[in-house]
């Protein structure tokens, strides 16, 4: 594998290639304005190199495929070739069941190869795709991955690029698609060298780090940098979709938004590859334009495949826990749960007390399938961004965990599970870092403590992200699924994914908001959800249930009285499924 050393540095006067202290001056590439190259120096697989810009450096390559010595070290040339598992036909991820995991804490080994050893568990669980939290190179050994600085390189601690290829191939062998979480809205604070080469970054930093220049001078190449990175995961690593982090933080004033341009390029790649590729946006905007089809002349939406819907999580979380602080306040009424189940967004132009303004836009229920909304009862953000990183397991009963699973998996949306949720894992998932810079570590602790004040959480509960024990506490305990209570919950999840698959493959199934019926009785805490051939009956109240005017002897007796000829599937105390 060989090629030519090249780099984009549009305002540099001199760019040099550094190979172990041996420097060579690069020439301007007359075919690509702003680019420099060394046409007579061959880049071979395994070569280590860096660039010196106007005497400053050496700096790693912004498009580095591997950082074997960390983000402050030299880059290494890696092979660049199409994904090898050409037998994989792919799968449409709209309506699919996803499973979100973090490579570092999914297994005690914390690598892509050790994660492969647990893929049979996921296939047996009945999920359709695995969604990996960011794996791009970041500073330090431990972290969530959202402070990455080399987007083209796989984090070395996880195993590097070859391990990533093995992981994707192993998933596909088991019928599991792969979605990669990517961060294009900011870069991490340590090891970010992009500004040394050119105007990659926007003026001023956002809440998470340096923003990206999407619409200023020289932004054409910056956008190409992002799109090329997206295509790398799809075409070379063979992933089936990308989860686009916090797209509301992409500041783009152009007539053609980056998301629209990206969706068009990805759709073209999918057509060439002959398999579906899905873009999933994490968006705080409650804007259905994300998932509205593109139209000629820019009259449509961005044309993404799906988007996250936090409103469903918030309504369900409040119904299960009674917690109404911070952004949960608007969801205090049980009616909000019925509203989001039937309409997708709660804030669809309504007033948001947390934001202090009106927020969102209604979904066109007549044209938008509900499966384009990705929902969860737990995910990395909603657990890890709590003060103590506590799961629902630490707060609610087994029966309520079962209700959360039933409403999520059998509802009209696309469900996403968080690792360990399926067996009611007792391990927390906390925010952890390993910044080598002491000042940066202290700043992270102070920032998170101040952020939690708005939610009314006790700052004393916030663990030190820099403490290695915070990371160790967050690692799944794979002995738990064998325990009685954990095994019972795991069996419930497997039954629910099987019911979901049967319902959605039944003749006459409609992926349509018009097919959804949700009712709640705030006085008794009863919730009823109908979708397709399934009905979920759940009891979220504190009072004893009654049949007519008489108390029910048991939950089984109460829900059994609602069979009306349907098949009754009883779960842990408090929930039943009726299947026609």
409 lies in some domain: no
Which residues make beta-bridge pairs with 132? 101, 180
Residues contributing to the annotated binding site for substrate:
243-248, 310-314, 380-385
If you write DSSP's letter for every residue of 443-489 in order, what string do you get? HHHHHHHHHHHTTT--GGG---TTSHHHHHHTS--TTGGGSHHHHHH
pLDDT tens across the length of the chain (580 residues) = 457 899 999 999 999 999 999 999 999 999 999 999 998 888 889 999 999 999 999 999 999 999 999 999 999 999 777 777 678 999 999 999 999 999 999 999 999 999 999 999 999 999 999 999 999 999 999 999 999 999 999 999 999 999 999 999 999 999 999 999 999 999 998 899 999 999 999 976 656 668 899 999 999 999 999 999 999 999 999 999 999 999 999 999 999 999 999 999 999 999 999 999 999 999 999 999 999 999 988 889 999 999 999 999 999 999 999 999 999 999 999 999 999 999 999 999 999 999 999 999 999 999 999 999 999 999 999 999 998 999 999 999 999 999 999 999 999 999 999 999 999 999 999 999 998 888 887 777 777 767 666 667 777 788 989 999 999 999 999 999 999 999 999 999 999 999 999 999 999 999 999 999 999 999 889 999 999 899 999 999 887 877 777 778 777 888 877 777 777 787 877 888 888 7
Q: Do residues 417 and 490 make contact, with C-beta atoms less than 8 angstroms apart?
A: no
Active site residue 282: yes
Angle at Cα 530 formed by Cα 91 and Cα 351, nearest 5°? 90
Residue that terminates a domain, selected from 59, 83, 104: 59
CA-to-CA distance for 458 and 144, rounded, in angstroms?
A: 23
Residues contributing to the annotated binding site:
243-248, 310-314, 380-385
Catalytic residue among 181, 261, 282, 309: 282
- pTM for the model: 0.95
Which residue, chain included where needed, has tokens 């070569």? 47
Residue that terminates a domain, selected from 42, 59, 76: 59
Q: What CATH number does residue 41 fall under?
A: 2.60.40.10
Q: Where are the alpha helices (DSSP H) in 67-140?
A: 103-106, 112-116, 119-125
Catalytic residue among 245, 252, 422, 530: 245
How many residues does the structure list for the chain? 580
Helix (H) or strand (E) holding 163: helix 160-173
Angle between helix 484-504 and helix 398-409 axes, rounded to 10 deg: 20
* Predicted local confidence at residue 53, as pLDDT: 98
* Predicted local confidence at residue 552, as pLDDT: 80
Which residue, chain included where needed, has tokens 């280590």? 48
CA-to-CA distance for 441 and 259, rounded, in angstroms?
A: 33
Three-state secondary structure call for residue 353: coil
CA-to-CA distance for 157 and 154, rounded, in angstroms?
A: 9
CA-to-CA distance for 85 and 452, rounded, in angstroms?
A: 45
23 lies in some domain: yes
DSSP 234: I
553 lies in some domain: yes
Sign of the CA dihedral with 65 first, then 68, 73, and 74 last: negative
DSSP 433: B
Which residue, chain included where needed, has tokens 């599937």? 569
Name residues whose C-beta falls within 8 Å of residue 295's C-beta, 6 or more positions apart in sequence.
none
50 lies in some domain: yes
Closest Cα partner for 197 from 29, 43, 51?
A: 51
Residue that terminates a domain, selected from 59, 79, 107: 59
* Predicted local confidence at residue 206, as pLDDT: 59
Active site residue 236: no
> What's the distance, Cα to Cα, between the start and end of the chain in Å?
58
* Predicted local confidence at residue 1, as pLDDT: 44
173 lies in some domain: no
CA-to-CA distance for 517 and 494, rounded, in angstroms?
A: 24
Split into its structural domains, the chain has a count of 2
Closest Cα partner for 33 from 12, 61, 57, 64?
A: 12
417 lies in some domain: no
550 lies in some domain: yes
DSSP strand E in 125-246: where?
129-132, 136-137, 150-154, 177-182, 201-206, 209-212, 241-244
522 lies in some domain: yes
DSSP 94: T
Q: Do residues 401 and 424 make contact, with C-beta atoms less than 8 angstroms apart?
A: yes
For residue 33, the enclosing domain spans 2-59
Q: Do residues 266 and 182 make contact, with C-beta atoms less than 8 angstroms apart?
A: no
């Amino acid at each position: 594998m060989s090629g030519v050393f090249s780099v984009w540095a549009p305002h540099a006067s001199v760019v040099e290639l550094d190979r172990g202290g041996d420097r060579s001056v690069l020439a301007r590439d007359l075919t690509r304005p702003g680019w420099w190259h060394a046409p007579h120096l061959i880049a071979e697989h395994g070569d280590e190199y860096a660039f010196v810009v106007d005497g400053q450096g050496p700096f790693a390559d912004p498009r580095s495929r591997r950082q074997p010595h960390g983000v402050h070290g030299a880059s290494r040339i890696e092979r660049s070739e199409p994904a090898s598992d050409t037998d994989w036909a792919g799968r449409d991820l709209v309506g699919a069941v996803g499973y979100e995991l973090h490579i570092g804490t999914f297994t005690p080994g914390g690598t892509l190869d050790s994660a492969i050893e647990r893929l049979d568990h996921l296939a047996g669980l009945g999920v359709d795709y695995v969604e990996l939290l960011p794996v791009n190179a970041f500073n330090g050994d431990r972290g969530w991955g959202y402070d990455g600085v080399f987007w083209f390189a796989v984090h070395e601690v996880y195993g590097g690029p070859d391990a990533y290829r093995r992981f994707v191939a192993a998933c596909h062998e088991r019928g599991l698609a792969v979605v990669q979480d990517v961060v294009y809205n900011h870069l991490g604070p340590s090891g970010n060298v992009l500004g040394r080469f050119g105007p990659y970054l926007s003026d001023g930093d956002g809440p998470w780090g340096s923003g990206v220049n999407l619409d200023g001078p020289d932004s054409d190449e910056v956008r190409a940098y992002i799109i090329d990175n997206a295509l790398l995961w799809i075409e070379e690593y063979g992933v089936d979709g990308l989860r686009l982090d916090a797209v509301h933080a992409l500041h783009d004033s152009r007539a053609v938004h980056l998301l629209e341009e990206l969706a068009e390029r990805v759709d073209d790649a999918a057509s060439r590859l002959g398999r579906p590729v899905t873009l999933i946006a994490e968006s705080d905007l409650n804007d259905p334009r994300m998932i509205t089809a593109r139209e000629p002349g820019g009259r449509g939406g961005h044309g993404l495949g799906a988007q996250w819907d936090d409103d469903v999580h918030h309504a369900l979380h409040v119904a299960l826990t009674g917690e109404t602080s911070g952004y949960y306040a608007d969801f205090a009424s049980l009616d909000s749960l019925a509203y989001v189940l039937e309409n997708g967004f709660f804030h669809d132009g309504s007033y948001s007390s947390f934001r202090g303004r009106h927020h969102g836009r209604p979904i066109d229920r007549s044209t938008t399938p509900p499966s384009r909304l990705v929902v969860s009862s737990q995910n990395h953000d909603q657990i890890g961004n709590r003060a103590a990183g506590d799961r629902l397991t630490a707060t609610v009963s087994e029966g309520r965990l079962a209700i959360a699973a039933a409403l999520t998996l059998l509802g009209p949306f696309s469900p996403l599970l968080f690792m360990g949720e399926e067996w009611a894992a007792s391990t927390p998932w906390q925010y952890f870092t390993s910044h080598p810079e002491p000042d940066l570590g202290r700043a992270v602790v102070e920032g998170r403590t101040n952020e939690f004040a708005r939610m009314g959480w006790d700052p004393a509960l916030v663990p030190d992200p820099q403490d290695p024990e915070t990371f160790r506490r967050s690692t799944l305990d794979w002995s738990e699924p064998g325990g009685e209570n954990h095994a019972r919950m795991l069996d419930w999840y497997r039954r629910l994914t099987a019911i979901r698959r049967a319902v959605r493959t039944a003749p006459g199934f409609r992926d349509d908001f018009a097919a959804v019926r949700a009712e709640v009785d705030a006085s008794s805490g009863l919730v009823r959800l109908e979708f397709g051939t399934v009905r979920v009956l759940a009891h979220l109240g504190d009072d004893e249930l009654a049949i007519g005017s008489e108390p029910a002897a048991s939950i089984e007796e109460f829900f059994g009285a609602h069979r009306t000829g349907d098949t009754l599937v009883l779960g842990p105390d408090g929930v039943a499924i009726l299947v026609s």
